[in-house]
Amino acid sequence: MQLSVRTSRHSYFIVVEEGALDRLGAELRRARPEAGRSVALVTDSHVGPLHAARAEAALRAADFAVTTQTVPAGENSKSLEQAGALCEAFAAAGLDRHSTIVALGGGVIGDLAGFAAAIYHRGLAVVQVPTTIVAQVDSAIGGKTGVNLAAGKNLVGAFHPPVLVLTDPALLATLPRRAWCEGFAEVIKHGVIADRAMVEELAAAEPRDLTALVSRNAAIKARIVQADEFERGERMHLNFGHTVGHAIEAAAGYGGLLHGEAVALGSVVAARLSVRNAALPAEDEALLHAALRRFELPLRLEGAAAEVGDDALLELLRRDKKFKDGRIRFVLTRRLGSAFVSEDVTEDDIRAALAAVR
Ligand SMILES: NC(=O)c1ccc[n+]([C@@H]2O[C@H](COP(=O)([O-])OP(=O)(O)OC[C@H]3O[C@@H](n4cnc5c(N)ncnc54)[C@H](O)[C@@H]3O)[C@@H](O)[C@H]2O)c1
Ligand SMILES: [Zn+2]
C-alpha cells in the first residue's frame, strides 16, 4: 500500500509492505532522484544488530555509500548531546546537503535522527524506516522531530517532514511482547478518535493481517496531519489519553511505565471524563476497556504509580501547557470513532474521573 502526504514543504509517500526494507535503496532513488551518493543510517543498539545489515545492503544495491551510526537504545538517547554527536559523525563522514539520513528504529531514533537531519546543514532529507508499532502508526508520520531536556520531554525540536516513510510490518516480528502490546495503546487511540470498527475488532481478537492494520492506522495519522500540520485543530485529537497519560508517566518516573501503558491509563480517565461530561455511552467505555485488556495494557494504577495521589497528579497536570485558569483543553469523545476538544473540563471533573483508574 502506498499513501501520499502533502505538507507545507513537499509531498511524500508512506509505503507499507512486507519485505519493503529490501527495497530501501530503490525507494529512496524513486522518492529523491536528486539524492547524492552518501547516506547515513542511524539506528540503535537493539535494532542495529537485527535489521541494519539488510538496510545497508539494500542501499548499496542502489549504489549508495552508507555509513552507519548506532546509538544506545532507549529514551536517554533523545538528547541534545546525542544529536550533536550525530552531526559531528555526519561531518566526519563527509555528508553534505545532497546526502540523506535514514532513521531505522522506533520513535526514539525517528525523533533523534529526524532532528539531527533538520539541523545539520540547515536541513538534510530524512527517510523514516520505523520498526515499532508506535513508530509505524504514529511517530514516523507527521514531521515532528526533537529531543528531550532535563526540564521535560520533546522541549527542543523542529518540524522536518521525511521525504519517504518506508514501513515494513515484518520488522515488528522481533519486538518483545511488552513493546508490541504497548504500541496498541496508540492504535486503540486512533480507533477512539477516528475508527470505531477498529476498536471493536481489536477488542474481539489480535490482528491477523498486520500490513492491513498498520496501513489503516498510517492512513488515519496521515489524514489528520495533512489536514492540520501545525496542530491548530484536529491534530489535537491525537492527544486523546495523553494529557493524564503524561502526568501518570511522569509520576511513575520515566521507565516505571512504558509510554503506551501510561497512555492506556490516560485513555481510561479520558473515557470516564467523556461519560461524565460528554454523554459517552457506558457500553463505549466498556468496549475501550476490552480493547486495552486484549493487549495486556493496564486499566488501573498499580505498584509505585498507585502510591501517587490525585493531588500530585493534578499538580503535574497544571504544568501542562493546555492548562489555563483552572481549566484545561481536553480531548473527549461523545461516541467511539469521533473526538472533540472540550474547553470545559475542570479540576473537579478530573479528580472524579481519576477514580476510574483507582
Ligand atoms: N514524533 C512524533 O510525532 C512522536 C509520536 C509519538 C511518539 N514519539 C516519540 O517516540 C518515542 C517512543 O517510540 P517507541 O515506542 O518506538 O520507542 P523506542 O524507539 O525506544 O523503541 C522501543 C524499544 O524497542 C526496541 N526496538 C525497536 N524496534 C525493534 C524491533 N523491530 N525489534 C526489536 N526491538 C526493537 C528499541 O531498541 C527500544 O528498546 C518517544 O520518545 C516519543 O516521544 C514521537
Ligand atoms: Zn503517545
Verify whether ligand 1 is closer than 6 Å to residue 148 (CB atom): no
CB neighbour class for 288 (10 Å; exposed up to 12, middle 13-18, buried from 19) = buried
Q: Do domains 2-174 and 177-357 have the same CATH topology?
A: no
So what's the pLDDT on residue 254?
59
DSSP E strands: which ranges in the chain? 2-6, 11-16, 38-44, 65-71, 100-105, 125-130, 144-149, 152-159, 164-167, 323-324, 327-332, 340-346
Whether 65 and 37 have beta carbons less than 8 Å apart is answered as yes
Q: In angstroms, what is the span from residue 296 Cα to ligand 1's centroid?
A: 18
H helix or E strand, kind and range, residue 91:
helix 80-92
- pLDDT of the residue at 3: 95
In angstroms, what is the span from residue 112 Cα to ligand 2's centroid?
Answer: 16
Helix (H, G, I), strand (E, B) or coil at 43: strand
pLDDT in tens, the chain (358 residues): 999 999 998 999 999 999 999 999 999 999 999 999 999 999 999 999 999 999 999 999 999 999 999 999 999 999 999 999 999 999 999 999 999 999 999 999 999 999 999 999 999 999 999 999 999 999 999 999 999 999 888 999 999 999 999 999 999 999 999 999 999 999 999 999 999 999 999 999 999 999 999 999 999 999 999 999 998 899 999 999 999 999 998 888 755 899 999 999 999 999 999 999 999 999 999 999 999 999 999 999 988 788 889 999 999 888 876 666 667 889 999 999 999 999 999 989 999 999 999 9
How far is ligand 1, taken at its centre, from the CA of residue 283, in Å?
32
CA distances 352 to 37, 143, 250, 317, Å, are: 58, 36, 20, 15
Say what the pLDDT of residue 321 is.
67
Under 8 Å between Cβ of 113 and 126: yes
Q: Tell me the CATH number of domain 2-174, given options 3.40.50.720, 2.30.40.10, 3.40.50.1970, 3.90.740.10.
A: 3.40.50.1970
What is the rounded CA–CA span in Å between residue 335 and residue 277?
A: 12
**By C-alpha distance, which of 142, 135, 82 is closest to 104?**
135
Catalytic status, residue 239: yes
Q: What confidence score (pLDDT) does residue 251 get?
A: 87
User: What's 299's DSSP letter?
Assistant: S
Structural element, H or E, at residue 107: helix 107-119
Cβ atoms within 10 A of the Cβ of 17, count? Answer: 18
| CA proximity to 330, closest of 262, 286, 267 | 267
Given the residues 148, 217, 239, 277, select the one marked as catalytic. 239
Q: What number of other Cβ atoms are within 10 A of residue 351's Cβ? A: 13
State whether the beta carbon of 134 lies less than 6 angstroms from ligand 1.
yes
100: Cβ below 6 Å to ligand 1? no
Which amino acid would we find at residue 257?
Answer: L
Question: In terms of residues, how long is the chain?
Answer: 358
The residues spanned by each domain of the chain are 2-174, 177-357
pTM of the model: 0.96
> Quick one: DSSP state of residue 279?
-
Known catalytic residue at 27: no
Q: Report the topology of domain 177-357.
A: Dehydroquinate synthase-like, alpha domain (1.20.1090)
Smallest CA-to-CA distance from 262 within 164, 189, 311 is with: 189
Atom of ligand 1 nearest to the CA of 182: 15
Q: Which of 23, 78, 216, 221 is catalytic?
A: 221
